[in-house]
Structures are given as structure tokens and as C-alpha cells.
């Protein structure tokens, strides 16, 4: 095996089923455990690492060459790396990108993230697809026994409320808009709407997509109540993405139910979609290996159009449990699972995938316009 960074620091990855992979460390010299999931995106490793929805998960990328474009301080979806660990096939020793300020391995080391390269990620992905996601552990130094022990001791994500772990401590205003070559991130111009966003682990690009559409955004901690939100007189409420199991987030389910009942225009993404479903009385369940990638086909049921979407979820709403005041708007063409629904009695809708992409295609960004449309209609009828 060739070690591209000179020094060979062995590392081992073990799965809870006892499978072991030997490779080399490209991050912190430590150990980590988490649920191992595979992501099929070909680019966007920095956005993936910093997506708070990956908290508690060790991510492996199916694309084999990672690190080619280095990292930069702009392409982050939150303030730090959130994934519990990282697994890749080959890390490139040469960085080629005009925006790069650091190599991926140096970034992983600086952020104290345990990561392994040089393993057969295709074999690993096949195991996860066939048997389903499972716990795993990476141990730098290569102690197989220790890695198996750690993997077996890691309990997985079902029943875990991680939204309250990753959320902001305090409310804050968000004014950063989309990125442009030459100028970088723009700032909010004139604002037309005030959106209150629940931070269950929100990705920054979601907030930028709202700012780009003239929304002034106030971000609130996950455990804020409907009364906290109403005090801010919002035109709309946004329920963010986030890690872990939606079911134990009872505080969020209750707040969402109250706000939707009051008729406040509401938009939910991913964990926010699951919370909106639970608030409506539907049920969620753990998926076998989830959806993680930037190339997932989803059908818009109203138009029949097929959209290529970004996805990152391990739980899903059971469509058969949706009450009659919810209509299905989107479905996955990979496995037929529910991807979006709208309330028929209230101005509220949600999407399981990631319309903000980052990384990924922008096929579903019209959902942000739909949210603005709901706020506009509500404003006019006031
Ligand atoms: N990206 C997300 O919001 C993920 C939602 C939830 N944690 C899941 O895995 O299904």
C-alpha cells in the first residue's frame, strides 16, 4: 500500500458485525465510534463533513478520489466538522483549486476528526447496503480488538435526540446570502419577510436560500416554544434539518403542531419534514441504509417531473400513516419512499431531501419560492 503523506500511521475500521478493514490515518490520532453510512456524492466533501445532520455518524464516500480540491473557509455548512469520523478510498496528495487554503488531512487533524483512508470502500458500501447501516469504529494505531469492542458498544441512532445537542445556545439573526465568484457571500438587501427558523442542526445554505429571497431570518434554539416564536411576529416558520431520531424531539413536534394550527406558513426540510409529519399524527421509522447522496431521483407528484436531489436521511415518514389532511407531493424513485407532503388545511409543506443541496443539484429550489409564495398570500390576506 502507498501512503501519500510520507509517514505511515496505521488505522483500523471495524463494523459491529466483526468485519475489519485496515488502512492508514488521515486525521486525528485517536479513536471514534458511530453509525457508518455511505454517501454517493462525487464532490462536496467539505459540506458533507460540516453538515450537522451527520452528527453521530461516520461517513464513507463511494467516490474513490477525495481531497483533490482541498478545503477553504467558505464551503462549510456549520462552524465545525460534525461527522463522527470519515472513511475514504484514496486521498490525493496534490491539491488543485484556486480557493483551497488547506489540505483535507490537515483540516481533519486541526478539527480533531478521526479518519481512515486506503480501505476498500466499495466492499464496505456493499456490506452496508446488504445488511443495513450499522455501528462502526475507527482506531488509529490499528488495534483490531479495540475497534470491534468500540463498534459493538455503540448503540446507534434510534431513539436519540441529537437536535438539542447541535442546536445554537442563543437566538441570532442571519443575513448572509448566496455566493458569487469575485465577491464571495453577498448580504441581505431589502427584506420583505421575517422567517423564524428552528435550528435543529441547520445547514447554512438553507438560511442563504431564504436570505436570497428577501427573508430576514431569526434563528432560534431547538427547544424554543410556539409562544417564543409568536413573540417575534414571523411571516413564516422554518423547521430545519438535523441529526438523530425525530421521535424523541417532542418539544419540536409540539411547537410545530401549535404553529401550524395557528395558520403560520411553515416549511420543513428533512428532520423538519419528519417533525411536521409527527406533528400531524403520522409515524416515522428507521430505514435500512438511508439516503445519502447528491444524485437521488425524486418525482414531483403534481407535475410528474423527475428531479435529481440531494439526500441525507436515515429515518423516513411512513406514508401509510399520513392523515387525510396531508397530500403526498414527492416520492423517491429509488425505493418509493415518501419525499414530501403538504397540509391541505393549513399553509404548511415539507420535503425529505435537501432543496438547498450544498452539495448537489438545484432541481428542487422552487420549494423555497413556494414558501415565499405562502408568506406572500398570508400577508395579503391580513
Ligand atoms: N438531514 C436530516 O435532517 C436528517 C434527518 C434525520 N436525522 C434522519 O437521519 O433521517
Tens of pLDDT, residues 110-155: 999 999 999 999 999 999 999 999 999 999 998 999 999 999 999 9
pTM, two decimals, is: 0.97
Residue 132's pLDDT is 95
List, for residues 17-52, the tens digit of each pLDDT value: 999 999 999 999 999 999 999 999 999 999 999 999
Separation of alpha carbons 338 and 351, rounded Å: 9
350 is catalytic: no
C-alpha cell at 345: 388545511
List, for residues 158-183, the tens digit of each pLDDT value: 999 999 999 999 999 999 999 999 99
Q: What is the dihedral of CA 64, 65, 70, 76, to 10 degrees?
A: -20
Given a contact cutoff of 8 angstroms between Cβ atoms, the answer to whether 351 and 289 are in contact is no
Q: Which fold, 10-153?
A: Glucose Oxidase; domain 1 (3.50.30)
Residue 147's pLDDT is 98
Pocket flag, ligand 1, residue 312 (CB < 6 Å): yes
Given a contact cutoff of 8 angstroms between Cβ atoms, the answer to whether 235 and 265 are in contact is yes
Ligand 1: which of 53, 83, 159 to mutate, most ligand atoms within 8 Å of CB? 53
Pocket flag, ligand 1, residue 56 (CB < 6 Å): no
80 C-alpha vs ligand 1 centroid, how far in Å? Answer: 18
Pocket flag, ligand 1, residue 268 (CB < 6 Å): no
Pocket flag, ligand 1, residue 52 (CB < 6 Å): no
Pocket flag, ligand 1, residue 315 (CB < 6 Å): yes
Give the model's confidence band at 1: pLDDT under 50 very low, under 70 low, under 90 confident, else very high: very low
Separation of alpha carbons 364 and 277, rounded Å: 20
Query: Nearest C-alpha to atom 8 of ligand 1 is from which residue?
Result: 313
Separation of alpha carbons 373 and 298, rounded Å: 22
Q: Domain residue spans in the chain?
A: 10-153, 163-380
270 is catalytic: yes
Give the model's confidence band at 5: pLDDT under 50 very low, under 70 low, under 90 confident, else very high: low
From the alpha carbon of 162, which atom of ligand 1 is closest? 7
For the chain, the average pLDDT equals: 96
Given a contact cutoff of 8 angstroms between Cβ atoms, the answer to whether 254 and 229 are in contact is no
| CA of residue 32 relative to chain centroid, distance | 20
Separation of alpha carbons 120 and 21, rounded Å: 8
Long-range contacts of 166-169 (CB under 8 A, 24+ apart): 166/52, 166/55, 166/78, 166/82, 166/200, 166/201, 166/242, 166/243, 167/199, 167/200, 167/201, 167/221, 167/222, 167/223, 167/242, 168/199, 168/219, 168/220, 168/221, 169/221
Q: Are strands 326-332 and 338-343 parallel, antiparallel or unpaired?
A: antiparallel
The 10 Å Cβ neighbour count of residue 101 is: 13
Please tell me which residue in 154, 249, 270, 326 is annotated as part of the active site: 270
Please compute the mean of the pLDDT values over residues 65-80 and round it to a whole number.
Answer: 97
Residues annotated in the binding site for L-glutamine, as ranges? 53, 242, 244, 271, 274, 312, 314-315
Q: Is residue 11 predicted with pLDDT exceeding 70?
A: yes
154 is catalytic: no
Q: Is residue 58 predicted with pLDDT exceeding 50?
A: yes
Please compute the mean of the pLDDT values over residues 266-285 and round it to a whole number.
Answer: 98
Q: Is residue 2 predicted with pLDDT exceeding 80?
A: no
List, for residues 326-378, the tens digit of each pLDDT value: 999 999 999 999 999 999 999 999 999 999 999 999 999 999 999 999 999 99
List, for residues 203-237, the tens digit of each pLDDT value: 999 999 999 999 999 999 999 999 999 999 999 99
CATH of 163-380, one of 1.10.287.3610, 3.30.1490.20, 3.30.70.360, 3.40.50.880: 3.40.50.880
Say how many residues make up the chain: 382
Please compute the mean of the pLDDT values over residues 87-105 and round it to a whole number.
Answer: 94
Amino acid at each position: 500500500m502507498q501512503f501519500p503523506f510520507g509517514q505511515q500511521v496505521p488505522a483500523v475500521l471495524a463494523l459491529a458485525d466483526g468485519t475489519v478493514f485496515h488502512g492508514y490515518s488521515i486525521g486525528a490520532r485517536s479513536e471514534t465510534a458511530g453509525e457508518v453510512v455511505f454517501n454517493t456524492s462525487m464532490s462536496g466533501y467539505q459540506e458533507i463533513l460540516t453538515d450537522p445532520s451527520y452528527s453521530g455518524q461516520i461517513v464513507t464516500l463511494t467516490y474513490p478520489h477525495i481531497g483533490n480540491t482541498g478545503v477553504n473557509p467558505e464551503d462549510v455548512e456549520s462552524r465545525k466538522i460534525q461527522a463522527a469520523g470519515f472513511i475514504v478510498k484514496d486521498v490525493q496528495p496534490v491539491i488543485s483549486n484556486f480557493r483551497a487554503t488547506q489540505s483535507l488531512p490537515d483540516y481533519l487533524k486541526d478539527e480533531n476528526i478521526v479518519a481512515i483512508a486506503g480501505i476498500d470502500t466499495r466492499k464496505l458500501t456493499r456490506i452496508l447496503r446488504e445488511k443495513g447501516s450499522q455501528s462502526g469504529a475507527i482506531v488509529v494505531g490499528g488495534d483490531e480488538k479495540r475497534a470491534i469492542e468500540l463498534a459493538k458498544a455503540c448503540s446507534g441512532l434510534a431513539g436519540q435526540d441529537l437536535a438539542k445537542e447541535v442546536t445554537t445556545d442563543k437566538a441570532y439573526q442571519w443575513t448572509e446570502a448566496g455566493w458569487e465568484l469575485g465577491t464571495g457571500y453577498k448580504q441581505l438587501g431589502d427584506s420583505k419577510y421575517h422567517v423564524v427558523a428552528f435550528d435543529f442542526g441547520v445547514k447554512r445554505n438553507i438560511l442563504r436560500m431564504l436570505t436570497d429571497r428577501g427573508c430576514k431570518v431569526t434563528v432560534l434554539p431547538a427547544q424554543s416554544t410556539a409562544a417564543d416564536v409568536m413573540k417575534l411576529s414571523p411571516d413564516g416558520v422554518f423547521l430545519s434539518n438535523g441529526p438523530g431520531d425525530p421521535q424523541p424531539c417532542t418539544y419540536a413536534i409540539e411547537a410545530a403542531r401549535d404553529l401550524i394550527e395557528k395558520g403560520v406558513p411553515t416549511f420543513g426540510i428533512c428532520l423538519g419534514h419528519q417533525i411536521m409529519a409527527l406533528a400531524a399524527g403520522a409515524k416515522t421509522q428507521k430505514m435500512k441504509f438511508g439516503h445519502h447522496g447528491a444524485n437521488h431521483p425524486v418525482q414531483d407528484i403534481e407535475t410528474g417531473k423527475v428531479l435529481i436531489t440531494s439526500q441525507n436521511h436515515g429515518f423516513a415518514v411512513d406514508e401509510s400513516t399520513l392523515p387525510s389532511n396531508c397530500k403526498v407531493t414527492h416520492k423517491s424513485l429509488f425505493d418509493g419512499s415518501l419525499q414530501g407532503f403538504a397540509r391541505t388545511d393549513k399553509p404548511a409543506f415539507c420535503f425529505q431531501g435537501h432543496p438547498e443541496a450544498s452539495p448537489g443539484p438545484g432541481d428542487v429550489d422552487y420549494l423555497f419560492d413556494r414558501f415565499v409564495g405562502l408568506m406572500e398570500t398570508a400577508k395579503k390576506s391580513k
